[in-house]
Structure 1
Amino acid sequence: MNVDYVARRARIAPALGLTDEIFLVGAGDPLAKPEISDAMLPFIAHQEYYYLTGLADASGGIIAYDPASGWISFVPTVTETEQIWEGRQQLPGEPLAKFPAWLGARAGRRVVMLGAPVAGVRRDAARTAAVRAAYQHARRPKELAEINLMRRCASATAAGYAAIQSFLRPGVSERRLQIELEAEYFRHGAQVTGYDSIIGSGPNAAVFHGAPSARVAQAGEFILIDSGAQLDRYVIDVTRTYIAGEPSAFQRDLYQNVLNAELRAIDRCRPGAEWRDIHFGAAVDLIDGLITMGLMKGSATSLIEQEAHMLFFPHGIGHMLGLGVRDASGLEPGRTKDPRPCVASLRQDLILRAGYIVTIEPGLYFIPALLHDPVRREKYRDCVNWPLAEKCLGLGGVRLEDNLLITAAAPENLTAAIPKTLIPT
């Protein structure tokens, strides 16, 4: 990715709200593979460090800022052994060995520390929390280079989903789908997946972070796929749900309910929109659909106020996306957690602005741990058609997820090229 990191740091520095504090961001340290003394796990620099430097391999690196003297980067000295065995090259910057003296010359000043902890350095916890919030807020609007990179990620992801359509049939294993999907990502330039692919058939479609297994999809079962490609640390995070064979009328209605809620939520993603309102609106749409299907009883608003909706929709409507999943999520500056039902558990509570990239991912699930819980069954005994809910156990769930670039007008759906069809194409 072609980024001017000097210009980026110059833009970020005044947004941090520093006075006389020293600002440090650590890259992190490598970890050895268990029981293999001479092999390391692949190093991933902390995203708060990578954003300011673009240095992916600077294990142990530190980027520092003194408001009086500006930015300085400290990088480890690459050893001959590392050059021979790992092919590492010396990175630009000051030797890491000079960092203690640099910091010592600033003794007595408060330290704000983001990224990975720097050994032997104490941070001011309160100021660190405030500066992190400011840093996250400044990172939220994506630069053009970031947006273009995510478009490339979306293209590779779309190729993967297109490649598996002919495999989405009864008898296919979750693992086979993973192999075909991810191989196509790599053929289209992806370096790795953005996260561990989530692929579940039948009841496994209700496991939010389920790893693909050898389980074989049976006729009439949902197959949920949540996966995306990664390029230069930037990721796409998309979900589609399919049917193996022919769907029942109930499955069609459930899918259409989620699709309608997603389309309406996408349309609400405009500059100035409150994330909490987008989530609440999606919850109302989903629960209205379940009432129409005869699965829930009462009014959607009342059911949500009681948190009965969380029996079937127990997660947020989405999150920020970019340099990793949930990139720069959190609260609007100066905002505290909203304690109201339906929004208290959200990972982010902010106002959308042009340049933000977010996921929208409504879903409805039949999760035994929730539906078999005696406390919930008693609390919501009059809210749910329990005999029908019991029959739905084993269906798994439906989730649809797209990635949106917020613009001055309608949002741009970066993943629109991946069709949303219950029956595979």
Structure 2
Amino acid sequence: MDIGALYAQHLSTLQQRVETALARSGHDHLLIAAGVPKYHFLDDRDYPFAINPHFLQWVPLPQHSHGWIVLTPGRRPVLVYHQPADYWHVAPSAPDGFWVEHFDIHVIREPKQASAFLPKQGRIAIIGEADAALDGYTPDNPQKLLDYLHYHRAFKTGYELHCLREASRIAARGHLAAAAAFREGASEYAINRAYLGATGQNDVNVPYGNIVALNEHAAVLHYQYQDIEAPAQSRSFLIDAGARCNGYSSDITRTWGNGDARFQALIDGVEAAQLALVEQVRDGRDYRDIHVDAHLRLADVLQQLGLVRMTPESQLESGISAVFFPHGIGHLLGLQVHDVAGFAASDEGGMIARPDGHPFLRLTRTLAPGMVVTIEPGLYFIDLLLRELRAGPHAGAVDWDAVEYLSQFGGVRIEDDVACTADAPENLTRDAFAAV
């Protein structure tokens, strides 16, 4: 099915969701504000624009500020399209593409002109940031309405899955280019340039800041720098980087070694665990159980490689597994990299708690067809956490010589984007690598 047909079905699903959400919240209209640019303090330079994801779900216009969408049950959606007369910047082109035929589109030159096309009567709900307010149309973000829309956003339409697959294919090209640059001895900065060049992105429009970490830097979970100079020896390389398609994001991590057998054994152990966890992305599976099983599987890797002389169960109970794997196994993925409603108990609100002792897990819901999640186990050698372990009662169970040796490689993380289906999971990431 072509993207136009998929989008038409997508729009129908969104309209049904909005009608239900408006009925629950007691409103007649829903307005979605795209958002406005934000500026540096005491300066006229703007930050990279970040659009309201609710707006982006309806139209693939990630750079479109000052726009509005008007949704009224029984009527065609209205798009107010801001196209300023501007010689300082490149103004948006005229609306075009597979989506335009589904909207009544009104082009405006100044933001204040939008009010002429917004409803004047009835109960109006407005989703957006406070600074997007316009002539009395002030975002109020009704909680009942948001609870419903956010909960159901986890279930991707065919159009959304199409975009997520393409985002994975774009990112896979970048990952392969980055791995080649690593093998050539490039710096973190140069590796990132290779990634961006292969994906056709820049540092502004990637879905998140790329993590490009050589050697010990791989032990920093969200390593935020990129050294311009290459190290004397590139022992290991961890890259966590994604791409976007029509506003939908991929989120992929790979770890590479440079010939060291002990570090490669660690990579192989994490990958085997990761693939087993991917197989658990199935209808009816509690995501919290996948997270706990990740601890047990990674603890088994630590035991098998002789790093920790304790059973996986004992490592989990004592907290040792969390020293080496201190983050959650993954999260929902879609319009936002860490997509909304990961803890939602239902479309009426409420929260599903994280398992005790696991404060960084971002998803606690039961999986169902249409959900797209990441599966990203890792093992790291983080000085701060290792010092605490060494000073604690279980220090004697650790082979500290082996830990010190592997610390020079930083750590390992392997992350795939996986769609839950009515049958076997669809691994968007592995499929993308196979395609490119």
Relative to the length of structure 2, the TM-score reads 0.80
Instruction: Tell me which amino acid in the other structure corresponds to 1:247.
Output: D
Distance in 2 separating the partners of 1:308 and 1:131: 42
* 1:202 paired to 2:206: no
Q: C-alpha deviations, 1:376-417, integer Å up to 9, x for none?
A: 832654554445434443320001111112222211212215
Contact 1:222 1:242 in 2 (8 A): yes
**Structure-2 change in CA distance of 1:330 and 1:165 (3 Å):** closer
Amino acid at match of 2:161: I
Counterpart check, 1:30 vs 2:43 = no
The residue identity in structure 2 corresponding to 1:198 is: I
Matches within 5 A, 1:219-230: 219=233, 221-230=235-244
Q: CA RMSD in A?
A: 3.5
What is the deviation of 1:104? 6.8
The Cα of 1:34 is off from its aligned counterpart by 6.2
1:377 and 2:384 equivalent?
A: no
- Structure-2 residue corresponding to 1:415: 429
Q: Name the % identity.
A: 27
- CA distance in 2: counterparts of 1:285 and 1:270, whole angstroms: 18
**1:237 pairs with 2:251:** yes
Measured against aligned partners, the alpha-carbon deviations of 1:351-370 in whole angstroms (never above 9, x if no partner) come to: 21222222111100011122
> How many aligned residue pairs are there?
408
* Amino acid corresponding to residue 193 of structure 1 in structure 2: V
Q: How does 1:203-282 map to 2 (within 5 A)?
A: 203-210=216-223, 211-219=225-233, 221-244=235-258, 246-249=259-262, 251-282=263-294
Q: Distance in 2 between matches of 1:76 and 1:367?
A: 49
Give distance in 2, aligned partners of 1:366 and 1:232.
Answer: 37
- Tell me what 1:394 maps to: 408
Q: Which amino acid aligns with 1:28?
A: G
In structure 2, distance between residues paired with 1:101 and 1:412: 42
Q: What SS does structure 2 have at the residue aligned with 1:216?
A: coil
TM-superposed CA distance for 1:252, in Å, is: 2.4
Does the 8 Å CA contact 2:168/2:428 hold for their aligned counterparts?
yes
Q: Is the 8 A contact 2:240 2:251 kept in 1?
A: yes
1:3-14 to 2 correspondence within 5 Å? 3-4=7-8, 6-14=11-19
Distance 2:138 2:114 in 1: 18
Contact 1:303 1:383 in 2 (8 A): no
Question: Hey, what's the Cα distance between the residues in 1 that align with 2:191 and 2:129?
Answer: 35
In structure 2, what is the equivalent of residue 347 of structure 1? 362
Q: Does 1:185 align with 2:185?
A: no
Q: Is the 8 A contact 2:309 2:398 kept in 1?
A: yes
The question of 1:358 aligning with 2:373 is answered: yes
Q: Residue 373 of structure 2 aligns to which amino acid in structure 1?
A: V
Deviations 1:200-244 (A, max 9, x none): 011111122223222524546111111122222122211111113
Tell me whether 26-35 or 136-145 shows the greater mean CA deviation. 26-35
Aligned letter for 2:217?
Answer: N
CA contact under 8 A between 2:369 and 2:420: conserved in structure 1? yes
How far apart, CA to CA, are the structure 2 residues paired with 1:144 and 1:340?
32
Counterpart of 2:165 (choices 151, 169, 178) is 151
Matched with 1:303 is: 315
Structure 1: any 5+ residue segments left out of the alignment? 421-425
Q: Which secondary structure does the structure 2 equivalent of 1:371 belong to?
A: helix
Q: CA deviation at 1:314?
A: 0.9
Instruction: Rate the CA distance shift 1:71–1:314 in 2: closer, same or farther, 3 A.
Output: farther
Equivalent residue for 1:161? 175
> For residue 290 of structure 1, what is the amino acid of its counterpart?
L
Amino acid in the other structure paired with 1:206 = A
Distance 1:233 1:201 in 2: 29
Cα pair distance change 1:83/1:136, threshold 3 Å: farther
| 2:24 is equivalent to residue 18 of structure 1 | yes
Q: Is the 8 A contact 1:280 1:342 kept in 2?
A: no
1:127-170 superposed Cα distances (whole Å, 9 cap, x missing partner) = 51x43232122222222222222222222222223334443337
What is the match of residue 50 of structure 1? Answer: 56
Out of 93-102 and 280-289, give the one that drifted further: 93-102
Paired amino acid for 1:274: D
Q: Is the 8 A contact 1:72 1:93 kept in 2?
A: no
In 2, are the aligned partners of 1:28 and 1:59 still within 8 Å (CA)?
yes
How far does residue 28 in structure 1 lie from its aligned partner after superposition?
1.5
Change (3 A) 1:402 1:74: closer
Distance 1:61 1:383, change over 3 A: farther
Aligned partners of 1:389, 1:259: CA distance in 2, in Å? 19
Which residue in 1 is equivalent to 2:99? none
Distance 1:98 1:186 in 2: 33
Offset at residue 83 of structure 1 (A)? 6.5
User: Helix, strand or coil for the counterpart of 1:348?
Assistant: coil
Instruction: Return the alpha-carbon distance in structure 2 between the equivalents of residues 31 and 280 of structure 1.
Output: 41
Secondary structure at 1:415 match in 2: helix
Distance 2:414 2:217 in 1: 16
Counterparts of 1:152 and 1:58 in 2: how far apart (Å)? Answer: 21
Shift in alpha-carbon separation, 1:240–1:74, aligned structure 2, 3 A: closer
Structure 2, unpaired ranges of 5+: 96-104
Mark the CA change 1:393 to 1:77 in structure 2 (over 3 Å): closer, same or farther.
closer
Report the Cα offset of residue 324 of structure 1.
Answer: 3.1
Are the equivalent residues in 2 in contact too, given 1:30–1:43 (CA < 8 A)? yes
Which one of 156, 160, 165 corresponds to residue 142 of structure 1? 156
